[in-house]
Amino acid sequence: MTATTNLTHAECAERARTITVRDQRVELDLRSATDPGADTFSVVSQIRFAASGPETWVDLIAERVVSVTLNGEPVPTGEYDGARVLLTGLSADNEVRIEADCSYSRSGEGLHRFTDPQDGNTYLYSHCEPTDARRYYPVFEQPDLKAETTFVVTAPRDWVILSGQAEVARTEDDGHERDEQSASATVTFAPTPPLSSYLTAIAAGPYHRVDGTWSVQRADGSSQEVALGVLCRASMVPHLDAEEVLTLTRQGLDFFDAHFDYPYPWGKYDQIFVPEYNIGAMENPGLVTFTEQYLHRGRATRGQRQALANTLMHEMAHMWFGDLVTMRWWDGLWLKESFADLMGYHVSAAATEYTDSWTRFAMDRKQFAYRQDQLPTTHPIVAVIDDMEAARQNFDGITYAKGAAVLKQLMAYVGEEAFFAGSRDYFARHAFGNTEVRDLTDCLEAASGRDLTSWSRVWLEMAGISLLTPEVDRADDGTISRLVIRQDARDPLAPRLPQASGVQGRSPVPDPAPQSRPVAGGDATVDRPHRLVVGCYRLEGERLTRAAAYELDVTGAETEVSEAIGQPADLVLVNDDDLTYASVRLDERSTRVALAHVSSIVEPLSRGLVWSTLWNALRDAVLPVGDYVAGALGQLPLEPDAALLASGLTNLHAAIETFAPVASRATWQAEQVRVLRTALDAAEAGSDRQIVWARALVQATASCADGVEPVRDLLRDCGPEGLEVHQDLRWAALAALAAQDALADEELVDELRRDDTMRGRTAGLRVRAARPSAAAKAVAWEAMTTDTSLTNDHLRALVAGFVEPSGGAVTREYAERYYDSITRWWSDRTMVMASILATGLFPRGDLADGQDAASHPALAAAQGWLADYEDAPRALRRIVIEQADHLARALRVQAAS
């Protein structure tokens, strides 16, 4: 039989119609985990379910199926095709028992196994979203088949053994008949409340644990106490600030308890930091997993700590949005992710010390949405998801950042009080159930009194970005004589075109024509209502001051702002305060003033919005790259906020490396390094800004040899006073030197000896691959494309080193091999690992003098592959389409500049 690892919406909807899951018991024997020669573990899954049809299947990706019994009768194991166990002859009530051997994961999918090189300890953790529970136990793998699930886990006795629910029983085997190392414990956990399989979780290993509690005494006389835990592997304990995590956790639970009016429903609340994690965090109720990247080897900046706070609140919001009430199918992914993304920033700003979280959202997070919404594969927030491969790729900027921005607009549209009242009604109506978009809008309509049908249609069910352009007429004294906001909003998916990615999408071949606006394609005009603020700024000496602000509704093709007549107008900022989601332009005078004075604006949020607006204008080939670079080089040294500075420096680097014409690039690279060196020397000792300048200098050195000596000074501890050159910064510096072919072999060997840790070994792979020699690139290519023992993080490190810009000329010869290989990668690797390769190794290039962007050979190769492989998996085609569109945009901007 042929394995069918993909799952379609149609077949899963039919399965949900014909079966109802009662409960499930999962027994895992993980005693083999510490044996590096053991690749599998034993699992027994027993599921009780009702059926109204004659047959169904259980999802399972395993090394082998040992036995299957259905209602006490054996089922031939030949009914397993590598992804599904077929069950026929069903009764009204059924019990299936499946025993299998599943594989430990190296890719972060299913049950991941990691052995720490520092102390030899082995750690396990699970990751299931969206359909990887089936990689470590047999299950009905779809969100609307919730089950009460009991985990029973056998593992080494001295390990911490965890699941999402509390431990209710424990037995121990001292192993004396075999050997002391085989001593084990079997832990039974309480059954979960009804829960989707992608939210189940276990972890096991010698994790370090810090305990705490959260408690509340409510006005109605009720009370609650929740046990808290913060965990990480033993060698990361020096980098764990458990007290900060516990403080944030209590602040978040206080907020959600007060505003959601539904007591935390999952018993305990453990949070565990794990290695080699594919995403930022996962909302497994009672056992939230976080990437170890949040544990910093050195002093964390305020911006880094704020990022953890936002993620922590995001995952906590999921305890209600997503875990308590779950989307019926993955086309409702926004019902959890958009809300959680919104709450991550909202609760951080409202309940923690990070009151400026919305500034980071405006400057950074919304760029994730803008980039995604301009791609040919853009889709509505409420997307059409035909199968699981498409679902995996919709964990994207539309579902997260655009969804959050649109919900922020909804909160302004209906009012914050009504927004939370509707949310409370939603939880009360649908607790432990599955929902669709109308279930939520019904609750919000009831709370606000507003009809959200048309709002939902234009904001949730249509794709694309509204472009808001101010037309400003000024009197002789510089005040406004007329201000009109023009809206150009189109649905890029009308007329509908053939599908390329499993979601509604535009043409599968990127349009090489220049775009001066963020939306291209369909002709259907969309009238989105925007509740926003227009800020009018006066230039007083060298300082921009907001002289007036007007909150209004912008609808239709144009909206006149008559209240602004007579106000100073050196800079007019549409969507000041960042209430809506739109691409915003500055008029010509405002652009000139912003480039020269943006750092003088007092309010950080407004500064972030101006920077974001300038960056979007560059990406849309409206603002010349040279103007942006000159403005950034002049204004960023004056930016007082370290987090905004870091974002601005990241964009400056991308402007030079990706969008600048080749003829100008070397000059700007050298000027960038000069400014970075000067600013680093001038930064306050021990400050966040000092750290940010140092990181930027290291990054710039990878493509500019002028930075080699100052970076060597950092490694010799001869840098500015007060700068902590911690181990992770050292590795970044070594990678930059390697990219410049300025690192001796013995230096790398010494550093690996100095830092023989997981992060050290992973960083070492990147350094080796960063060398610009043909030999280094050949070794890296061979490892990436043939060594299936590489972990997910090791593969990412090799890819990052391989594509370092200084090695671009050497790597161009691999373009043909890339297109010859990607379908094989997709069929032979898991989707995570194949995506790392297909995305990271996509062949790029720059525009040469006199060359036509539309006929660039790298773009032509991508278009040729898409034409030749129309039957390739849609998810793979989506990657190539998106990467080709990123390239086409870069070439257009280079040509325009």
Identify the helix (H) or strand (E) that includes residue 226. strand 223-232
Which of these is catalytic: 109, 276, 283, 315?
Answer: 315
Give me the percent of the chain exceeding a pLDDT of 70. Answer: 95
CA–CA separation, 748 and 239 (whole Å): 24
Give, to the nearest 10 degrees, the angle between helix 302-318 and helix 242-260.
40
What would the pLDDT profile of 79-104 be if each residue is shown by its tens digit?
A: 899 999 999 999 999 999 999 999 99
What would the pLDDT profile of 11-52 be if each residue is shown by its tens digit?
A: 999 999 999 999 999 999 999 999 999 999 999 999 999 999
Q: Which pLDDT band, with edges at 50, 70 and 90, does 809 fall under?
A: confident
How wide is the angle at C-alpha 729 spanned by C-alphas 205 and 841, nearest 5°? 80
What would the pLDDT profile of 51-74 be if each residue is shown by its tens digit?
A: 999 999 999 999 999 999 999 999
What would the pLDDT profile of 454-472 be if each residue is shown by its tens digit?
A: 999 999 999 999 999 999 9
What would the pLDDT profile of 752-766 be if each residue is shown by its tens digit?
A: 999 999 999 999 999
What would the pLDDT profile of 502-561 be if each residue is shown by its tens digit?
A: 333 333 333 333 333 333 345 578 889 999 999 999 999 999 999 999 999 999 999 999
Q: Which pLDDT band, with edges at 50, 70 and 90, does 180 fall under?
A: low
Residues in contact with 547: Cβ distance below 8 Å, sequence separation at least 6, in sequence order? 536, 537, 538, 567, 568
Q: Which pLDDT band, with edges at 50, 70 and 90, does 383 fall under?
A: confident
What would the pLDDT profile of 305-342 be if each residue is shown by its tens digit?
A: 999 999 999 999 999 999 999 999 999 999 999 999 99
Q: Which two tokens stand for residue 697?
A: 């200098």
Q: Which two tokens stand for residue 114?
A: 């990691």
pLDDT at 690 over 80: yes
What would the pLDDT profile of 203-239 be if each residue is shown by its tens digit?
A: 999 999 999 999 999 999 999 999 999 999 999 999 9
Mean pLDDT of 169-195: 87
Contact 133, 198 (CB under 8 A): yes
What does the domain layout of the chain look like in residue ranges? 9-206, 318-464
Q: Which pLDDT band, with edges at 50, 70 and 90, does 811 fall under?
A: confident
pLDDT at 750 over 80: yes
**Averaged pLDDT of the chain:** 93
Same CATH fold, 318-464 and 9-206? no
Clarify whether 315 is annotated catalytic: yes
Q: Which pLDDT band, with edges at 50, 70 and 90, does 3 fall under?
A: low
What would the pLDDT profile of 583-629 be if each residue is shown by its tens digit?
A: 999 999 999 999 999 999 999 999 999 999 999 999 999 999 999 99
Q: Which pLDDT band, with edges at 50, 70 and 90, does 181 fall under?
A: low
Residue 516: predicted pLDDT? 33
Q: For 415, which DSSP code?
A: -
- The beta-strand segments (E) located in 71-201 are 73-74, 84-88, 93-103, 110-115, 122-127, 148-156, 160-163, 167-173, 184-189
Query: 750 or 719: which carries more pLDDT confidence?
Result: 750
pLDDT at 379 over 70: yes
Residue 46: predicted pLDDT? 98
Residue 719: predicted pLDDT? 87
Query: 146 or 717: which carries more pLDDT confidence?
Result: 146
CA–CA separation, 820 and 823 (whole Å): 8
Residue 502: predicted pLDDT? 38
Residue 515: predicted pLDDT? 33
Query: 186 or 178: which carries more pLDDT confidence?
Result: 186
Contact 324, 194 (CB under 8 A): no
CA–CA separation, 414 and 448 (whole Å): 6
Residue 230: predicted pLDDT? 98
Q: Which pLDDT band, with edges at 50, 70 and 90, does 810 fall under?
A: confident
Residue 518: predicted pLDDT? 38
Mean pLDDT of 121-137: 97
Query: 780 or 503: which carries more pLDDT confidence?
Result: 780
Strand order in the sheet with 73-74: 73-74, 64-70, 93-103, 40-51, 19-29, 148-156, 184-189, 167-173
Closest CA to 700 of 760, 731, 740, 660: 740
Q: Which pLDDT band, with edges at 50, 70 and 90, does 491 fall under?
A: confident
Q: Are strands 490-491 and 524-525 parallel, antiparallel or unpaired?
A: antiparallel
**How many CB atoms are located within 10 Å of the residue 687 CB?**
14
Identify the helix (H) or strand (E) that includes residue 552. strand 543-554
pLDDT at 498 over 50: no
Q: Which two tokens stand for residue 716?
A: 């010799």
**How many CB atoms are located within 10 Å of the residue 625 CB?**
22
Q: Give domain 9-206's CATH architecture.
A: Sandwich (2.60)
Residue 805: predicted pLDDT? 77
For the segment(s) 318-464, the CATH number from 2.40.50.100, 1.10.390.10, 3.30.465.10, 3.40.50.720 is 1.10.390.10
pTM of structure:
0.94
Residue 806: predicted pLDDT? 67
What would the pLDDT profile of 813-866 be if each residue is shown by its tens digit?
A: 899 999 999 999 999 999 999 999 999 999 999 998 888 888 899 999 999 999
